[in-house]
């Protein structure tokens, strides 16, 4: 690969950690506790712990692989190197299609929080603005993510304070009384996707300084921080909101503030949710663009998508293509229903990560072989506990990608 085709290493450990944590503390943190509580009830905390354990398995597998293959593309590259072209393609195709739909849903969520009836135009404007930031270079992306993350963290601290101050209408065993043991695993599946942002660090492997040292540290630091935040919020919400109210709330963190003595600060929570959407969307667009770049380099996607240019050496064709597809989804589909299948694609992606890490000759102390096997099984288990419609839809998308690649290869030969 010639020098002008490579990205530049501009990110330190702290910036990589910020991008990962900004991805994990996206819009999901403001909504995920309600459906998870509806499934698990008072066992919500157990679901958070299980999701964190699965996320840890996947994170250490990604860290070990990223240290060995410090290039853009994440599991798409690892799968190709360790398992072969087809597993790598399956991971990359699942990530690009699923996360592109997630980008559209995230943009629409921001538009809904920020502009109500004008959600779609505002969502499109956000996609355009964040794409411009990405085109200015990865350091600009990291800087904006840092600013947005500070806003989100301040908002979560305010929510925690509201839940602590009370009054605690939901204190006692009746809190969040819906759901039960049978819902713990599906709830863990929902909570897992709130943790999944650490993959963004691995997809930026080509732009991190001293990657064999910095990437594992950044992934583990981002995951540990997110786990502590989610666990604390789960405990506080269960203690604060009355029975059934947490499960029924469309915006559980906003509801927690409205039911406290700090209700006047509700607009701050809405602003924080909007900032979280922007931060997650920024990281998502960046990650999808880098995986698209990696797939185009191997001609699993059209080769022009691999072009890199500008002073900041960014994959500008891939970034523009991702933005165009996201805007098209916003204009032509009901993205909130389309995005449901992306969960299955993400779990397939991480299953390939664990299988790839399992085949490494040398395993770092934080990622033993048995943990890779456990992560692989856990990903498949969570994937097939998802609603059947999501499983069938993403299976069809993956099958279409596999058929398309097979036809292209046959034509070339």
User: How would you write the pLDDT of the chain (413 residues) with one tens digit per residue?
Assistant: 444 355 667 777 788 888 778 778 876 787 788 888 888 888 889 999 998 898 889 888 988 888 888 777 788 999 999 999 999 999 999 989 988 888 888 888 888 877 778 889 999 999 999 998 888 876 666 777 788 888 889 999 999 998 898 776 644 444 445 667 888 888 887 787 777 777 667 666 677 787 777 888 888 888 899 899 999 999 988 888 765 778 877 778 888 888 888 888 888 888 888 888 888 888 788 888 888 988 998 899 998 988 887 665 778 898 899 999 999 999 987 766 666 677 788 889 899 999 999 999 888 888 899 999 999 999 998 888 777 887 888 899 999 999 999 999 998 87
Buried b (16+ CB within 10 A) or exposed e, 242-269: bbbbbbebebbbbbbbbbbebeebbebb
Is residue 98 classed exposed, middle or buried when 0-12, 13-18 and 19+ CB atoms within 10 A define those classes?
buried
At 314 the pLDDT is 77
* Residue 340: Cβ-neighbour burial (10 angstroms; 0-12, 13-18, 19+): middle
Determine how many CB atoms are found less than 10 A away from the CB of residue 306.
Answer: 20
pLDDT score at 245: 78
pLDDT of residue 168: 67
Q: Using an 8 Å Cβ cutoff, are 210 and 134 in contact?
A: no
Instruction: Give, rounded to a whole angstrom, the gap between the first and last alpha carbons of the chain.
Output: 23
Q: Tokens 């839809």 label which residue? A: 393
Sequence-ordered alpha helix ranges (H) in 241-360: 245-248, 252-258, 266-297, 316-332, 335-338, 342-358
Residue of 148, 86, 100 lying closest to 341 (CA atoms): 100
Name the CATH code of domain 3-402 (choices 3.90.550.10, 3.30.70.100, 1.20.1740.10, 3.30.530.20). 1.20.1740.10
Neighbours of 310 (CB within 10 A): 11
For 13, residues 6+ apart whose C-beta sits below 8 A from its C-beta are: 208, 213, 214, 217, 218, 221
pLDDT score of 312: 58
Instruction: Name the residue ranges covered by the structural domains of the chain.
Output: 3-402
pLDDT at 99 (0 to 100)? 86
What is the rounded CA–CA span in Å between residue 210 and residue 150? 26
Please provide the DSSP assignment of 134-181 as one string. HHT-HHHHHHHHHHHHHHHHHHHHHHHHHHHHS--TT-STTTT-S--G
All residues at 6 or more sequence positions from 168 whose CB lies less than 8 Å from its CB, including other chains:
239, 240
Pair 74, 95: CB distance under 8 Å? yes
pLDDT given for residue 6 in this prediction: 59
106 backbone dihedrals φ, ψ, rounded to 5°: -65, -40
What pLDDT is stored for residue 365 in this prediction? 81
Q: What is the DSSP letter of 208?
A: B
44-68 and 33-40 are packed helices; what angle lies between their axes, rounded to 10 degrees? Answer: 120
Q: Measured between alpha carbons, how far is residue 314 from residues 132, 206, 208, 224, 230 in Å?
A: 11, 11, 14, 30, 33
């Amino acid at each position: 690969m010639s020098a002008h085709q490579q990205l530049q290493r501009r990110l330190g450990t702290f910036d990589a950690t910020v991008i990962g944590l900004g991805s994990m503390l996206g819009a999901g943190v403001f909504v995920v506790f309600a459906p998870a509580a509806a499934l698990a009830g008072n066992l919500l905390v157990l679901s958070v712990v299980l999701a964190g354990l699965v996320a840890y398995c996947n994170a250490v597998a990604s860290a070990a692989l990223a240290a060995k293959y410090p290039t853009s593309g994440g599991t798409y590259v690892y799968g190709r190197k360790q398992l072969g072209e087809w597993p790598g393609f399956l991971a990359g195709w699942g990530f690009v299609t699923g996360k592109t739909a997630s980008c559209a849903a995230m943009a629409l969520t921001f538009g809904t929080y920020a502009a109500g009836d004008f959600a779609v135009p505002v969502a499109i404007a956000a996609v355009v603005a964040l794409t411009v930031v990405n085109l200015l270079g990865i350091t600009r992306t990291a800087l904006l993510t840092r600013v947005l993350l500070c806003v989100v963290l301040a908002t979560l601290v305010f929510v925690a304070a509201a839940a602590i101050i009370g009054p605690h209408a939901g204190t006692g065993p009746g809190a969040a009384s819906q759901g039960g043991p049978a819902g713990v695993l599906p709830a863990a599946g929902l909570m897992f996707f709130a943790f999944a942002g650490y993959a963004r660090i691995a997809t930026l492997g080509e732009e991190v300084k001293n990657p064999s040292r910095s990437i594992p540290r950044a992934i583990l630091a981002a995951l540990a921080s997110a786990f502590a935040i989610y666990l604390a919020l789960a405990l506080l919400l269960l203690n604060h909101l009355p029975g059934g109210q947490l499960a029924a709330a469309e915006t559980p963190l906003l509801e927690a503030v409205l039911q406290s003595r700090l209700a006047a600060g509700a607009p701050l929570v809405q602003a924080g949710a909007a900032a979280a959407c922007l931060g997650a969307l920024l990281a998502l667009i960046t990650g999808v663009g880098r995986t698209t770049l990696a797939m185009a380099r191997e001609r699993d996607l059209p080769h022009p998508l691999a072009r890199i240019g500008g002073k900041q050496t960014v994959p500008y064709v891939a970034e523009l293509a991702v933005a165009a597809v996201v805007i098209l989804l916003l204009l032509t589909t009901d993205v909130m229903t389309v995005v449901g299948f992306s969960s299955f694609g993400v779990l397939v992606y991480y299953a390939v990560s664990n299988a790839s890490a399992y085949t490494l000759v040398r395993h770092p102390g934080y990622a033993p072989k048995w943990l890779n096997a456990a992560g692989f099984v856990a990903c498949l288990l969570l994937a097939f506990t998802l609603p059947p419609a999501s499983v069938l839809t993403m299976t069809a998308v993956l099958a279409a990608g596999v058929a398309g690649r097979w036809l292209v290869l046959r034509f070339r030969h």
